[in-house]
Amino acid sequence: MAHGRAVPGFLRLLLPQDRAAALRRHRRSPPAPRRRATSPDFGDARGRHRLPRRWSPGSELMGANRLDRRSVPSVGYIVRSYPRLSQTFILDEIRALERLGVPIHIFAMTDPREEVTQAEVAEVRAPVQYLDRLGRTWASAISTHLRAAIRSPRRYAAALRYTIASGESDAGYRVASRYTCFHHAVCLTMRLHQLENSGGGPIGHLHAHFAHDPTLVALLTHLLTGLPYSFTAHARDLYQVPESMLRARAAHAETIVTCCLPNVEYLRNVLSPRLHDKVKLLHHGVDLHAFQPRVHRERASDPPLLMSVGRLVEKKGFADLLAACGRLKDAGGRFRCRIYGEGPERSKLKGIMQDLDLGDRITFAGARSRRDLMRAYGQADVFVLTPLVTEDGDRDGIPNVLDEALASGLPVVTTAVGGIPELVTHGVAGLVGRPRDVEEIATHLASLLDDHALRLKLGAAGRATVEERFDLRRSAEELAGLFGVVREREPRTTARGLPWRSAR
């Protein structure tokens, strides 16, 4: 090979004289400084394993409790789908954290493609990545997995071994298979690597909503990267995940958040005592500025208007509500009732309505945006929601629509399921009955329909309850603390440049 021609670097090492010169330079040169591992940990370019450096948020903060968004690692939110009309609490949580200066990335397993979307979605600054759009073809999937395995073979093997041998089953508690979750985790891992290399800032913590698929993706991503993760357990996801799976997810997690005391007790019964300190109670908050009591609520509707909101599924207890309305009508009660929501039981519930001859009293108003519901809360006189526990264990924690109704100054009639008694004390902020007890539900409704003064009293007490214990801003501050993020002290702005609106 002629020396007068340019020779690519990797070929020059094949020439004896160049190979010898390179060897001499290597012997004379000082050892290269060790690279500091950053989180997430992907190993080096040759696939050698590198122990992860745990994210220490305190070292990233600039000034007195002030977040520098350019240096603080983001929190990666892993959700089943986004945005979901029935999961507005996740949207609220993300918006509240962003108002506190916490940078967020959203990783959704699927796009729900719902017809109705909350207007507040446009206020979210966080970018959204749909994991089911990554590695969709065989070629791209194989390439993604090969790159992940080469980059960190030990971590890839550990995650794959967990997926295959950990006992994860594809029982009815999940939608996606464990192998789909593994694929999503691998795609997410490589996406995190791309984000870090593109200068967009690293993800320092993962947080999953719901203990089934999203938390499994978070766990597998943790095994692949070393990133710490936490998760929020809600209702069905908590009680239908096999206990052995729940223990594994809790063992690897930094924190387990849940929204009501019965969930805390269940987790502590299932988990070993050494994991109990990981379980944190954090109620979903409500935006106290957005939801306000009606200015002239002393003027009752004629006839009084009952209102209910929820997915049309068994655990919401709408069949019991219709039966209670039938009792009220038979007793000569004057009322109207609007039910907002969609779901698989719509046809069944409309059949019950017709059987009870309630067509002139009941309106199924369909799924509505929150802004529509805000107006509806202002028009209603009583809010009613009668949840129950289904035979397969599905149940509510604390339905967020109860928070919204109380913040709107409405008295409520509800049932003692999940954490509802933590929000609604019988005779204080509303009337609480036994689940499936149609007679008691009807009696409570009649009491409020007949007593306007009692409605005003309970409505005022309900507003005071959420102001004291269910403020969204305080909940977000606590959650940011669990993530290890300290909020700014200076005034913050929303995505539209508006300051955080005071609840007082």
The two tokens of residue 336 are 């109207």
For residue 300, name the pLDDT band (cuts at 50, 70, 90): low
Residue in the block written with tokens 């200066």? 101
Supply the pLDDT for residue 171: 54
Terminal-residue alpha carbon distance, the chain: 81
For residue 117, name the pLDDT band (cuts at 50, 70, 90): confident
CA distance 462 to 451: 17
Supply the pLDDT for residue 75: 97
**pLDDT over 60 (residue 51):** no
Output the CA angle 17-19-24, nearest 5 degrees.
95
**pLDDT over 50 (residue 26):** no
Mean pLDDT of the chain: 83
Supply the pLDDT for residue 33: 44
Residue 303, preceding bond cis, omega within 30 degrees?
yes
**pLDDT over 50 (residue 487):** no
For residue 113, name the pLDDT band (cuts at 50, 70, 90): confident
Which segments of 263-327 are extended strands (E)? Answer: 279-281, 305-309
Average pLDDT estimate for 348-370: 97
Buried b (16+ CB within 10 A) or exposed e, 173-203: bbebebebbbbbbbbbbbbbbebbeeeebbb
CA distance 80 to 110: 6
Going by C-alpha positions, the residue among 280, 387, 273, 397 that lies closest to residue 341 is 387
**pLDDT over 50 (residue 495):** no
For residue 496, name the pLDDT band (cuts at 50, 70, 90): very low
Supply the pLDDT for residue 165: 81
Q: What share of the chain is helix, strand, coil (3-state, %, to 5)?
A: 45, 15, 40
Residue 226 Rama label (left phi>0; alpha psi -120 to 50; beta): left
Of 61-70, 132-141, 163-172, 213-222, minimum mean pLDDT range = 61-70
Classify residue 311 as exposed, middle or buried by CB count within 10 Å of its CB (0-12, 13-18, 19+).
middle
Supply the pLDDT for residue 71: 54
pLDDT in tens, 54-72: 333 333 322 333 344 445 6
Supply the pLDDT for residue 115: 80
CA atoms in the 13 A half-sphere facing the CB of 473: 18
Going by C-alpha positions, the residue among 245, 271, 108 that lies closest to residue 172 is 245
**pLDDT over 50 (residue 360):** yes
Supply the pLDDT for residue 274: 97
**pLDDT over 80 (residue 135):** yes
Going by C-alpha positions, the residue among 66, 64, 35, 70 that lies closest to residue 50 is 35
Residue 83, preceding bond cis, omega within 30 degrees?
yes
CA distance 190 to 192: 5
Confirm if 486 and 57 have CB atoms less than 8 A apart: yes
CA distance 332 to 421: 30
- Better pLDDT: 469 or 2: 469
Residues 6+ apart with CB under 8 A from 467: 288, 503, 504
Centre a 10 Å sphere on the Cβ of residue 341 and count the other Cβ atoms it contains. Answer: 22
Q: Which helix (H) or strand (E) holds 328?
A: helix 318-330
Strands 279-281 and 305-309: unpaired
**pLDDT over 90 (residue 177):** no
Residue in the block written with tokens 């409790």? 65
Q: Is the dihedral of CA 255, 260, 263, 269 positive or negative?
A: positive
Going by C-alpha positions, the residue among 481, 405, 496, 504 that lies closest to residue 100 is 481
Supply the pLDDT for residue 55: 32
Task: Give the rounded percent of residues in the chain with a pLDDT score beyond 70.
Answer: 78
Going by C-alpha positions, the residue among 419, 443, 422 that lies closest to residue 431 is 443
Confirm if 96 and 120 have CB atoms less than 8 A apart: no
Supply the pLDDT for residue 351: 98
CA atoms in the 13 A half-sphere facing the CB of 292: 9
CA 198 from centroid of its chain's CA atoms: 27
Task: Give the rounded percent of residues in the chain with a pLDDT score beyond 90.
Answer: 70
**pLDDT over 60 (residue 475):** yes
- Better pLDDT: 23 or 391: 391
pTM of the model: 0.80
- Better pLDDT: 435 or 46: 435
Domains with residue ranges and CATH for the chain: 57-281 (3.40.50.2000), 305-469 (3.40.50.2000)
Average pLDDT estimate for 484-502: 43
pLDDT in tens, 202-224: 899 999 999 999 999 999 999 99
**pLDDT over 80 (residue 29):** no
What CA dihedral angle connects 141, 146, 147 and 153, to 10 degrees?
A: 130
3-state class (DSSP) for residue 127: coil
Largest CA distance in the chain: 106
